[in-house]
Amino acid sequence: MVLDTIDALDPRVVVLVTSAAVYLVYKNYEPNSPASALILLGAVPGVLTAVLHQHVGSFTAAAFTVYASYWSILATLVVAYRLSPFHPLARYPGPILCKVSKGWLAYIAGTTGKAHLYVQDLHMRYGEVVRIGPNELSITNKDFPIAVLGAKGLPRGPYYDSRRHEAGMSLDGLRDQALHAVRRRPWARGMNSASMKHYEELIHDTLSDLITALKQRTGKTVDMSEWTNYFGFDFMGRMAFTRDFGMLKTGHDQEGLLELIEHAMEDSAWISHIPWSLPFLRFIPGASKYWDQMKAVGEQAVETRVALGSTSRDLFHHLMDEDGHEAVKPTKALVAVDGQLAIIAGGDTTATTLSHLVYYMLRYPKYLDRLRKEVDETFPDGADSTLDFTKQTNSMPFLNACINEALRLYPPVLAALQRRVEAGTGGKMIGPHFIPEETQVSLFAYSIQRDPQHFSPLTNTFWPDRWLSQEKYALPSGDVITADAVVTNRDAFIAFSQGPMVCAGKNVALTEMRGVMCALLQHFDTKIADQSFLDTWEDKVEEIFTTKRGALPVILTPRA
């Protein structure tokens, strides 16, 4: 009887009604598994073809007509709704391609590495709220960093689903705030003041290796971008796994770890924008080879550390809960997942900021001279004393101002800190803007920290004085302005994120940066080997979830 009814209808009506029904399924339930795609996009039009083919002609002609019509109607309904005035985000401006699909921003991120510049340009064109996806807004409003990231903020959005592994989600991908708080406890113990005492010794040892290696290369051209990587990863190996990667001692990356991470991050940069694609990529041979290799690196690091035994209270000691603080001991597989996070976040991000800081010191010699003077005054006993740095570096105002300014202009993670207004909440009012439920809210640190409403004057210029407390400020031009003419909104400084999900290794990273800069400035005079590398440094910066940098060749001369 059903088939007789269908036969009596116009085939075009049947395809239209079926397509509309499937569209509503996608709109209301958002199925994204390969099985659901096979059924809804493949099997359903296949059934329609089998039933309706006698009305069209040959089976082949019917299949082509039905599938083409079915998919075209689905696509038309999706696009029409997302561009219609009935969409919950219709009032917010943005490019048509962004409103239609998040795939456009994924394309920008994956092909150019300049998604951070693209989004900043959108804010310059459209204002402080821009629609960058069908259900996503990028916002630079002054009320949003605390309201979104703070203690009473929003949970993470689907952008972080790309951090999922077979063994579970890494700490930086957990969207459940309660579960994140539980999983963060071992990290907190691994980063507390007692642990920092141990890590300072490791920084001292790694700094000694760095200075020794660079002294062997004085008078020669060395790539400081590369050597900051070596320092970052050698220290990370010692801090996290009591393991020495040996990059500083050998002068190269013997295991190919840096290149592997770069490739894995390049994949993550675009996948994070369309995380629903992950289940489908598993069916493409070689699509996940870099992340599979990263998984192997994390597992090997854990196995090596387990074989070593508890000889050190490193980060792994706390992640494995070897002191027995937790009721349930984590599995080695789950710790391996967080091990990958420690390798990437602990090595790459610190090296990125150090590279930017060295670049700015070379670009602006007057700041280099001021910083060296402060270092010499803080460590009057000579160069060797900087290797035994203490809390003195915490109270060096200009050093910390330079670090903050480098982090402001180029945060290690240039992409979005995404949060979500969950379904059933009724939406959320933040400042003057109402955010409907089931909307993703993204805070691009690059855009926020270069917004004049948060940091001015000289918003896009390296001007560390803005971080100093003074009654009057001298601009690089020589003009003098009063304190009330300087805007430094520390609440909008989100280089390490904010709130409950602030970077767990923030204090370790800052200690590394302070130690490296003090040691470099007291041991060496530095000059750029080729001015063209300074002129193109910022052009070569790419957002690959972390940051891809170019070379920074310098010539080091021992200081008298």
What tens digit of pLDDT does each residue of 110-152 get?
999 999 999 999 999 999 999 999 999 999 998 899 999 988 8
**8 A C-beta contact, residue 255 and residue 263:** no
Residue 98 among known ligand-binding residues:
no
Q: Give residue-wise pLDDT tens across range 342-381.
A: 877 777 888 999 999 999 999 999 999 999 999 999 988 7
433-435 and 542-544 beta bridge pairing = unpaired
Please give the sequence-ordered ranges of beta strands (E in DSSP) within 431-516, or none if there are none. 433-435, 439-444, 455-456, 472-474, 480-482, 487-488
Question: What letter represents residue 168's amino acid?
Answer: G
Cβ within 8 Å of residue 53, ≥6 positions away: 59, 62, 63, 66
524-528 and 553-558 beta bridge pairing = antiparallel
Summarize the confidence of residues 476-495 as an average pLDDT. 94
pLDDT at position 389:
64
| Token pair for 221 | 């051209």
Summarize the confidence of residues 75-80 as an average pLDDT. 97
Q: Give residue-wise pLDDT tens across range 183-207.
A: 889 888 988 888 888 899 999 999 9
pLDDT at 7 over 60: no
pLDDT at position 278:
85
Using CA atoms, how far apart are residues 252 and 429, in angstroms rounded to an integer?
52
DSSP state of 457: S
Using CA atoms, how far apart are residues 464 and 174, in angstroms rounded to an integer?
35
Q: Is CATH 1.10.630.10 what the domain over 165-454+489-558 is classified as, yes or no?
A: yes
Task: Provide the residue ranges of all domains of the chain, joining segments of one domain with +.
Answer: 2-83, 165-454+489-558
Please give the sequence-ordered ranges of beta strands (E in DSSP) within 145-243, or none if there are none. 164-165, 168-169, 221-223
Summarize the confidence of residues 504-508 as an average pLDDT. 89
pLDDT at 447 over 60: yes
Q: What is each CA distance from 70 to 22, 47, 257, in whole angstroms?
A: 10, 12, 47
| Token pair for 226 | 């590369």
Q: pTM of this prediction? A: 0.92
Q: Report the half-sphere exposure of 186 (CA within 13 A, side-chain side).
A: 27
Helices (H), 364-482: 365-378, 397-409, 445-448
pLDDT at position 214:
97
pLDDT at 24 over 70: yes
Among 254-258, 509-513, 520-524, the least confident range: 254-258
